[in-house]
A and B are shown apart, each in its own frame.
Chain A
Amino acid sequence: AQSVSQHNHHVILSEAASLELGCNYSYGGTVNLFWYVQYPGQHLQLLLKYFSGDPLVKGIKGFEAEFIKSKFSFNLRKPSVQWSDTAEYFCAVNARRDSNYQLIWGAGTKLIIKP
């Protein structure tokens, strides 16, 4: 069955550190990939998405993600994090399940940035 793995459930970094959150999926067909973020007290919102073309996609607030098809990965990166990046980050993959497409979600990574 298709699945999405986010290997780190909790990440703690200091401000200005570089960030990379891992996301791997198991699905051999065409995929569309998403990162969503939930800031404390706010709704889940889209951070960035990949559909086709340049595998390096840029999102809001300086985030970017790289789709590596051979590794079934879509890791999220940010060169220098800020305290305001403290949030929970979810990777999701749009993949075929039975006869329909559906979003399959990772378990999320809680990121804490120490000021």
Chain B
Amino acid sequence: DGGITQSPKYLFRKEGQNVTLSCEQNLNHDAMYWYRQDPGQGLRLIYYSQIVNDFQKGDIAEGYSVSREKKESFPLTVTSAQKNPTAFYLCASSTGGFLYEQYFGPGTRLTVT
């Protein structure tokens, strides 16, 4: 069954700790994306990757880091430098760039206290 998995669904961390969110896809898509969703706001792009070993910053990359060592995996690290990390994080993938339909995972809700 093809799709995108994100784990865990809920994540709790103490302030000052780095945390890594997992995103895996078995759709054989080249492009992957990380978005942040806050109440009353649209999705905001954190990072995206159009090919393995390459990624670009989105609008709100500060305090986040990513890697793309494998086609199917695009983990996001929320670092202690992110000033307001509590949010809902969505991972997506597509066959190509932004012109193509994006397929979304279920999301991870991160709470930092």
Contacts and interface: CB of A to CB of B under 8 A. Distances in A.
Interface of A: 4, 9, 32, 36, 43-46, 49, 51, 90, 92, 94, 97, 100-108
Q: Interface residues of B: mostly helix, strand, loop or mixed?
A: loop
Contacts, number: 49
Contacts of A97: 59
9 contacts: A45-B104, A46-B101, A92-B42, A102-B59, A103-B102, A104-B42, A106-B42, A107-B41, A107-B42
Nearest to A97: B59
Contacts of B101: 46, 49
Contacts of A49: 101
Contacts of A104: 42
Q: Interface residues of A: mostly helix, strand, loop or mixed?
A: strand
Nearest to A6: B42
Nearest to B56: A100
Nearest to A104: B42
B97 interface: yes
B113 to A, nearest CB: 26
A105 B42 contact: yes
B12 interface: no
A111 B58 CA distance: 29
